[in-house]
A and B are shown apart, each in its own frame.
Chain A
Amino acid sequence: DADVTQTPRNRITKTGKRIMLECSQTKGHDRMYWYRQDPGLGLRLIYYSFDVKDINKGEISDGYSVSRQAQAKFSLSLESAIPNQTALYFCATSAVSGNEQFFGPGTRLTVL
Chain B
Amino acid sequence: AQSVTQLGSHVSVSEGALVLLRCNYSSSVPPYLFWYVQYPNQGLQLLLKYTSAATLVKGINGFEAEFKKSETSFHLTKPSAHMSDAAEYFCAVSDPLLGGTSYGKLTFGQGTILTVHP
Which residues from chain A sit less than 8 Å from chain B, CB to CB? 4, 31, 33, 40-45, 48, 50, 58, 90, 92, 94, 96, 99-106
Contact = CB atoms under 8 A, between A and B. Distances in A.
Interface in B95-115: 96, 103-106, 108-111
Nearest to B94: A99
A99 B43 contact: no
Interface in B4-29: 4, 9
A101 B105 CA distance: 9
6 contacts: A40-B110, A44-B108, A99-B32, A103-B45, A104-B43, A106-B43
B108 A50 contact: no
Contacts of B44: 43, 90, 92, 103
B32 to A, nearest CB: 5
Contacts of B82: none
Interface of B: 4, 9, 32, 34, 36, 42-46, 49, 51, 90, 94, 96, 103-106, 108-111
Contacts, number: 52
Contacts of A99: 32, 34, 49, 51, 94, 96, 103-104, 106
Contacts of A41: 110
Contacts of A48: 104-105
Contacts of B46: 100, 102
Contacts of A102: 46
Contact of B104 (A4, A42, A90, A94): A94
A43 B104 contact: no
Contacts of A101: 106
Nearest to A42: B108
Contacts of B9: 40
A88 B56 CA distance: 32
